Amino acid sequence: MRRWRNPNLWDALATSIVRQVIRAGQARKLYRAFCEAHGEEVLTPHGLAWLFPIPEAVLELPDDEFTGLGMAFKRLPLKAAAEAVLDFGAKWAELDPAVLRDEVQSVPRIGPWTAGATVADITNDYSLYPYADLAVLTWADHLSTGRTWPETEPEFARLWARLAGKDLSAWTLLTLAWGVRHANTSGAVAI
């Protein structure tokens, strides 16, 4: 199995925004509906797919389009991110990933989780992902390791980073991937 990085900063940032504070399954539904309603249609070997709308298209959408698609809460951060990508995207593409993670947080409504998830997605370096995230903790807890994990995110993050060491990216990515696969095959709800 191989995980491909997302080469498009706008798409990675928009995906992270859609994923903010909601369950992964709900985020996938919202993302797909938004793409189908406003994104470019492309034909793939597996059938039709839709790209996430370009920043200019997101900026032109009236508020009621977001509301009608269940994305009212995402409107302001998506529009702020679209403006920022249009203004700073070329500069951001040249930044070191850790600097980019900090720079993206200058956008209103983009915090450490969204910035970390975005940079992990475009670099494929999951040591930059917010590994204290409930999804990592949840799926680490479901793995049959015999280990009891701390319940708080800060305690979990410290232990996770210490145990993973130089393999932090691989541990985090594999745990998230295992969780997605487990959720999709077992009927469990992905976090």
**At 43, is the secondary structure helix, strand, or coil?**
strand
The answer to the question of residue 129 being in a domain is no
Indicate whether 138 and 119 sit together in one domain. no
User: What is residue 1's predicted lDDT score, i.e. its pLDDT?
Assistant: 46
Contacts of 144 (CB under 8 A, 6+ apart): none
Indicate whether 55 and 108 sit together in one domain. yes
Indicate whether 90 and 20 sit together in one domain. yes
> What's the pTM?
0.87
Indicate whether 178 and 159 sit together in one domain. yes
Indicate whether 107 and 39 sit together in one domain. yes
CATH of the domain at 38: 1.10.340.30
Q: Is the pLDDT of residue 106 over 60?
A: yes
The answer to the question of residue 128 being in a domain is no
User: What is residue 186's predicted lDDT score, i.e. its pLDDT?
Assistant: 47
Six-digit token string for 131: 């590994």
The sign one gets for the Cα dihedral 157, 159, 165, 169 is negative
**What mean pLDDT is reported for the chain?**
90
* Cα–Cα distance measured from residue 176 to residue 62, given in angstroms and rounded to the nearest whole number: 35
pLDDT level of residue 97 (50, 70, 90 thresholds) = very high
pLDDT level of residue 2 (50, 70, 90 thresholds) = low
Give the H or E element holding residue 41: strand 41-44
| pLDDT digits 0-9 by tens, 49-82 | 999 999 999 999 999 999 999 999 999 999 999 9
pLDDT higher at 134 or 69: 69
With tokens 């009891």, the residue in question is 148
Indicate whether 74 and 117 sit together in one domain. yes
| pLDDT digits 0-9 by tens, 155-184 | 999 999 999 999 999 999 988 888 877 765
Closest CA to 129 of 84, 90, 174: 174
Domain range enclosing 16: 9-123
DSSP 86-142: HHHHHHHHTS-HHHHHHHHTTSTT--HHHHHHHHHHHH--TTSS-TTSHHHHHHHHH
Q: How many structural domains does the chain have? A: 2
